């Protein structure tokens, strides 16, 4: 079996050693080398051709963003390592927009003596990154037209909410989707993106900066208003009740909080047939039960296709329920949302 080849980039010698040991303990991956800063990283990326890079966000000489911009045409998947600071979380979100595969939060700052806490998460994401890399090479074969499953899905009615759920690979898709939507869409968007606490605020701010719609990190008690995008805050479930956003700390669902199912199930009860629900890329099956509930109430459902999904787990689980109306590539979803909302599909 060919091992996954990894380059570890961090300005801390301790972190380089710890991350290297975690990766080399896995039978299916190996660290080719380490780099102490961005300049060193770029040289070694060009000479070693790794499959995956673990890239520190904050480094001297060239930081993580500068490295990403320089290697954007390289055939490599990048996992960012971020400390939870205001600047660090904002930079991480920008890195995802620029094409980073995913990120790992350092548990206790730039030099985390307890970095081993994220070992399981890190090695899992390295494996998914390699799968993503193979898929990226075949991306030119992605379908150009979406696949209708329920050809009579559309009808002219007033939609009360667009619901979107995403996980791995979702931030980049959401950025492209939401920034394409017009300012007069006239419905609210409620979004669950699996993301740790502290990063969703930076994500909402980044989206708001580039979007026609107002984008906010949701707060408990927010009145749901049209032309506003509500991002579920990391660490809290988000659901709807009496036309308001509600947040709680009830147990994780599918091992995550916020969970897509929590939002979708509540919206099915709150808005009935007047929902448009979208499942985007992500691992696991969060959202599948919610999609069933939306469809049973008469709502419309969309899933991202396999060819453009970073991880096809969540869309696949939704499709397998038999309750998805349309499957389409990520770059067509925004246009389709507008058509559905305005009754032109």
- The one catalytic residue in 112, 167, 266, 309 is 167
User: Rounded CA gap, 37 and 41, in Å?
Assistant: 6
Residue 118, φ and ψ in degrees, nearest 5: -100, 10
Q: Which of 164, 169, 200, 203 is nearest to 181 (CA)?
A: 164
Question: What are the residues facing 31 on neighbouring strands?
Answer: 6
Residue 220 appears among annotated catalytic residues: no
- The one catalytic residue in 51, 56, 89, 194 is 194
Question: What are the residues facing 30 on neighbouring strands?
Answer: 5
Residue 194 appears among annotated catalytic residues: yes
- 84 by Cβ neighbours in 10 Å (0-12 / 13-18 / 19+) ranks as middle
Residue 74 appears among annotated catalytic residues: no
- The one catalytic residue in 51, 286, 325, 330 is 286
Residues with a catalytic annotation lie at 167, 194, 286
């Amino acid at each position: 079996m060919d091992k996954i080849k990894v380059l570890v980039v961090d300005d801390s010698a301790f972190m380089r050693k710890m991350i290297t040991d975690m990766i080399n303990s896995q039978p299916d991956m190996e660290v080719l080398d380490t780099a102490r800063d961005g300049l060193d990283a770029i040289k070694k990326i060009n000479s070693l051709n790794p499959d995956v890079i673990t890239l520190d966000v904050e480094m001297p000489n060239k930081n993580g963003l500068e490295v990403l911009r320089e290697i954007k045409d390289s055939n490599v998947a990048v996992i960012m390592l971020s400390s939870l600071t205001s600047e660090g979380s904002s930079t991480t979100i920008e890195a995802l927009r620029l094409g980073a595969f995913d990120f790992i939060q350092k548990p206790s700052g730039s030099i985390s003596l307890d970095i081993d806490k994220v070992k399981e998460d890190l090695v899992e994401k390295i494996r998914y990154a390699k799968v993503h890399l193979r898929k990226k090479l075949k991306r030119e074969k992605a379908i150009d037209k979406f696949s209708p499953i329920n050809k009579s899905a559309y009808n002219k009615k007033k939609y009360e909410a667009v619901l979107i759920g995403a996980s791995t690979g979702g931030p980049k898709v959401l950025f492209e989707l939401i920034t394409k939507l017009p300012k007069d869409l006239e419905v609210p968007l409620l979004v669950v993106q699996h993301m740790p606490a502290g990063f969703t605020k930076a994500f909402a701010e980044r989206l708001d900066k580039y979007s026609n719609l107002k984008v906010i990190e949701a707060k408990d008690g927010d009145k749901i208003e049209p032309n506003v995008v509500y991002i579920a805050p990391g660490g809290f479930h988000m659901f709807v009740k009496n036309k308001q956003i509600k947040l709680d700390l009830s147990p994780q669902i599918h091992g995550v909080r916020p969970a897509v199912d929590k939002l979708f199930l509540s919206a099915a009860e709150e808005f009935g047939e007047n929902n448009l629900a979208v499942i985007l890329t992500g691992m696991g099956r969060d959202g599948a039960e919610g999609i069933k509930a939306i469809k049973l109430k008469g709502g419309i459902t969309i899933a991202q296709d396999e060819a453009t999904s970073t991880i096809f787990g969540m869309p696949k689980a939704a499709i397998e329920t038999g309750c998805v109306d349309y499957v389409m590539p990520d770059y067509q979803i925004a246009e389709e949302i507008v058509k559905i909302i305005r009754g032109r599909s």
